[in-house]
Structure 1
Amino acid sequence: MHHLVIGEFVFSVGDKTPIMKFERTSPGAYSEVSLIYDARSEMTGRPLETLDITAKWLQYGAQESVEKLRTLIESPQQVSDGQGINLGKWTIQQLKEGKSALIHNGQAMVTDVMLQLKEYRE
């Protein structure tokens, strides 16, 4: 089973690319408008949603997986969850990689990955 699919990249325990944390933020469609002696709510439309994904990979091949994710930055990607629910298209806003527990040849035994995705609407 898999946790999440972004484009052709699969987050799963079997592929040694599990997700530790998944957060989806859906902002409201109303904004606060400041007035001289008051404020009011105004319908401004629904802003784009965001996904924040955190992963910790404990393996030698983590660098290859991070590089595969980097190739997806260039264009919007189809995203679906582990239950097969289509979450629509998203763009990768940021990919952050951290390495720790380095061994003698500089390879990381632990790779922390953080992804920020933003909803893509046409």
Structure 2
Amino acid sequence: MNQLTMSVPNDNSTPAFIFGVAEGTAYDSLSREAKGGWLNLDIINGKPVSQRTSSPLDTLSLSGKWFGEEGMTSIDKLRDIKNKFQPVLLTDNYGYNLGLWKIMQVTEKQSRIIDDGTAMVTDFSLQLEEFANA
């Protein structure tokens, strides 16, 4: 995937956020974690017993660098979406629906600050967790 679109379903007041090179909002890395849903129970005088449980929610992490004033504006847009407290719909550049996700954390680190307070480099990370109540 080289482009992701994040939108708030049923909310026409919030524009979709596109992670992509053309928009100046590309991401460097994406990692998705899907755990197996197993629990180990310790027993006396033996190895732990594995017990199947429900599947935990998947997590998705994006990170990268954005540049100039556009980077700072992009972080603000992500915070605005997070502050809606609504699940977001993710789709890739092929139109594949990745499902609904909750924004758990938006992190930024500004560097190379110029005299007007603009960060020339903004490192960002975004932590998402699967939304399973739909």
> CA, structure 1 residues 37+6, in 2 after alignment: closer, same or farther (shift >3 Å)?
farther
Tell me which stretches of 4 or more aligned residues in structure 1 moved more than 2 Å: none
Q: Give the conservation status (yes or no) of the 8 Å contact 2:68–2:118.
A: no
Residue 3 of structure 1: aligned partner:
3
Matched residues in 2 for 1:22 and 1:50: separation? Answer: 11
For residues 86-106 of structure 1, give each alpha carbon's deviation from its aligned partner in whole angstroms, at most 9, with x where no partner exists.
110000100001100111111
Structure 2 unaligned residues grouped into runs of 5+? 8-15
Superposition RMSD in Å: 1.5
Q: Give the conservation status (yes or no) of the 8 Å contact 1:16–1:59.
A: no
TM-score (structure 2 length as normaliser): 0.86
**Which AA in structure 2 matches 1:96?**
T
TM-score (structure 1 length as normaliser): 0.93
Q: Give the conservation status (yes or no) of the 8 Å contact 2:62–2:127.
A: yes
* Aligned partner of residue 70 in structure 1, secondary structure: helix
Trace 1:1-122 onto structure 2 (pairs within 5 A): 3-7=3-7, 8-38=16-46, 39-73=48-82, 74-122=85-133
Structure 1 unaligned residues grouped into runs of 5+? none
Aligned residues: 122
Task: Point out the structure with the larger strand share.
Answer: 1
Residue identity over aligned pairs, in percent, reads 35
For residue 59 of structure 1, report the CA deviation from its aligned partner. Answer: 2.4
